[in-house]
């Protein structure tokens, strides 16, 4: 049995159940493990000698929080991350996660229109933590202008959960989304990523077996004590 690809609704339900009174997880905990998995995925594919300068692009929601956690871990791993977060979420958790990054001297780009385009040439790889599974089109400013800039940069892109601009269920049907080289799905892949042809990793090793069974997730076994596992590529699955 292969891994289940989740609809936006089911992904939302799994998330809510984890953080319900019954699931007992805090957002801090889950975001820490998710962000760590994102950083480890990037570090697995793009080594810090050749790709030290990571542009971490963060959206306004929990996805952006994952990005901030990943930026901090990338800093700990010896990368030189820079944060682009033009619409920071107002929740305290985002402020704290951002403070943790500034305490590590991880710079954050300004919010002017040119800040992103100016920064791209001096980076080696992009971590796309802009939109997650609760994204609904259309892409709004300033991200509508940013997605083409990121694509045109020709830098390698690692996307978190679902490539930004993709519909969570229908993928990049509209053609406005990023085309990342690497995708790290969190807890379970989303339906929209079925057509993704690049390197596909799974992170978020915190789903209790009972929840996995309830939602028939059929998660693949993670190796040893790793926090990420590579999924078979869709190209391979079709053979």
Give the binding site for its own copies (CB under 8 A).
Answer: 22-26, 28-29, 32-33, 36, 39-40, 43-44, 72-73, 76-77, 93, 95-97, 99-100, 103-105, 205-206, 208-211, 222, 224-225, 227
Q: Which is it for strands 199-203 and 228-231: parallel, antiparallel or unpaired?
A: antiparallel
Select 104 or 145, whichever has its Cβ closest to its own copies: 104
CA triplet 133, 120, 49: central angle to 5 degrees? 90
- In the complex, minimum distance from the CB of residue 208 to its own copies, in angstroms, rounded to a whole number: 5
Q: In what order do the strands lie in the sheet with 199-203?
A: 80-84, 53-58, 125-129, 157-160, 182-186, 199-203, 228-231
Select 27 or 120, whichever has its Cβ closest to its own copies: 27
- In the complex, minimum distance from the CB of residue 236 to its own copies, in angstroms, rounded to a whole number: 25
Select 26 or 197, whichever has its Cβ closest to its own copies: 26
- In the complex, minimum distance from the CB of residue 26 to its own copies, in angstroms, rounded to a whole number: 5
Would you say 193 and 204 are in contact if contact means Cβ atoms under 8 Å apart?
no
120: exposed, middle or buried (Cβ count in 10 Å: 0-12, 13-18, 19+) = middle
Would you say 70 and 163 are in contact if contact means Cβ atoms under 8 Å apart?
no
Distance CA 159, CA 165 (A): 11
Looking at the DSSP bridge assignments, the partners of residue 203 are 186, 228
Select 136 or 209, whichever has its Cβ closest to its own copies: 209
Select 1 or 24, whichever has its Cβ closest to its own copies: 24
- In the complex, minimum distance from the CB of residue 107 to its own copies, in angstroms, rounded to a whole number: 14
- In the complex, minimum distance from the CB of residue 207 to its own copies, in angstroms, rounded to a whole number: 9
Distance CA 69, CA 56 (A): 10
- In the complex, minimum distance from the CB of residue 147 to its own copies, in angstroms, rounded to a whole number: 28
Select 179 or 212, whichever has its Cβ closest to its own copies: 212
Q: Which of 149, 168, 160 is nearest to 36 (CA)?
A: 160
């Amino acid at each position: 049995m292969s891994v289940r690809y989740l609809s936006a609704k089911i992904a939302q339900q799994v998330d809510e159940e984890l953080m319900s009174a019954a699931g007992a997880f805090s957002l801090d905990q889950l975001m820490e493990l998710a962000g760590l998995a994102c950083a480890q995925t990037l570090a697995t594919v793009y080594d810090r000698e050749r790709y030290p300068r990571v542009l971490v692009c963060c959206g306004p929601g929990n996805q952006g929080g994952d990005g901030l956690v990943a930026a901090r871990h990338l800093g700990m791993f010896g990368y030189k991350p820079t944060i682009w977060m033009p619409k920071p979420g107002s929740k305290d958790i985002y402020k704290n996660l951002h403070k943790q990054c500034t305490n590590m001297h991880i710079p954050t780009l300004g919010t002017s229109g040119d800040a992103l385009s100016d920064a791209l040439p001096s980076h080696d790889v992009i971590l796309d933590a802009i939109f997650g599974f609760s994204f609904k089109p259309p892409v709004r400013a300033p991200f509508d202008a940013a997605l083409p800039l990121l694509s045109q940069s020709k830098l390698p892109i690692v996307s978190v959960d679902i490539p930004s601009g993709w519909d969570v269920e229908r993928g990049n049907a509209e053609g406005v989304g990023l085309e990342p080289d690497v995708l790290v799905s969190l807890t379970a892949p989303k339906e929209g990523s079925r057509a993704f042809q690049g390197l596909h990793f799974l992170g978020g090793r915190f789903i209790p077996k009972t929840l996995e069974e309830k939602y028939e997730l059929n998660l693949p076994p993670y190796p040893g004590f790793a926090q990420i596992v590579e999924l078979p590529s869709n190209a391979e699955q079709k053979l």
